[in-house]
Copies of this chain bind each other. A is one copy, B any other.
Amino acid sequence: MTLSHDIPSKIDPLIKHFEDYLPLDEFDKSMLLPRVVERKIKRRQFILQEGDVCQHYNFVVHGCFKIYKVDEKGVEHNIQFVVENDWATDIGSFHAENPSELYIEAMEPSTILQINKTDLLFLYVNCPKFDRNFRVIIENKFIELQNRLLQSFSASAMERYLAFLQQYPALSQRIPNTQIASYLGITPEFLSKLRKDLVSK
């Protein structure tokens, strides 16, 4: 007679996400449930700002976030967009408990599920499955970053833009081009020119 059995819950999307890797049993779920907090985030609201220590793993249930850094000249550089069923966290800051250099900002009204460090460590110790799951999460983020870096070296702005459209077709409808330009590492003006060339072609 476990509470979580058959009762729809706010954390269902998260359970489903974990089960993409590894089935969870009722015990696992019962450990997870009380350690996850749901939060509603408004558009333009931050869940992390430069200088703060990242306190949570944030799982996006719905909505969209950008993770970016502001350079010395005040220019924003988007590192990553995060949508449904992915994690919006400064992994480095979270684990090392260092002040973050990043901002994480909602681009749409969003719902997230948060797990703090104490609870995450508890899960690691008591349910090895989560341990494996979170390792895989970091590995995947690592691979994503690595591919992004390789692309930024070997591909032109146009190639990177086309790759972006192909990899995230939905996103390109959802977010302003300014933000895509920042992600691609080019100016909005230049992206505009690329787009013009695309239609005329």
Contacts of A69 in B (CB 8 A): 150, 154
A75 within 8 A of B: yes
Chain A interface mostly helix, strand, loop or mixed?
helix
Point out the residue from B95, B145, B185 that lies within 8 Å of A145, measured CB to CB. B145
Give the size category of A's interface with B: 20 to 34
A198 within 8 A of B: no
Point out the residue from B75, B92, B101, B136 that lies within 8 Å of A142, measured CB to CB. B92
A162 within 8 A of B: no
In contact, B77 and A146 (Cβ under 8 angstroms):
no
Contacts of A75 in B (CB 8 A): 154
Q: Which of A69, A79, A146 has the most CB of B within 10 A?
A: A146
Extra inter-chain contacts (7) besides given A77-B154, A149-B149, CB under 8 Å: A71-B154, A75-B154, A77-B153, A91-B142, A95-B135, A145-B149, A152-B152
- Hey, which bits of chain A sit against chain B, CB under 8 A? 69, 71-73, 75, 77, 79, 91-92, 95-96, 101, 131, 135-136, 138-139, 141-143, 145-146, 148-150, 152-154, 185
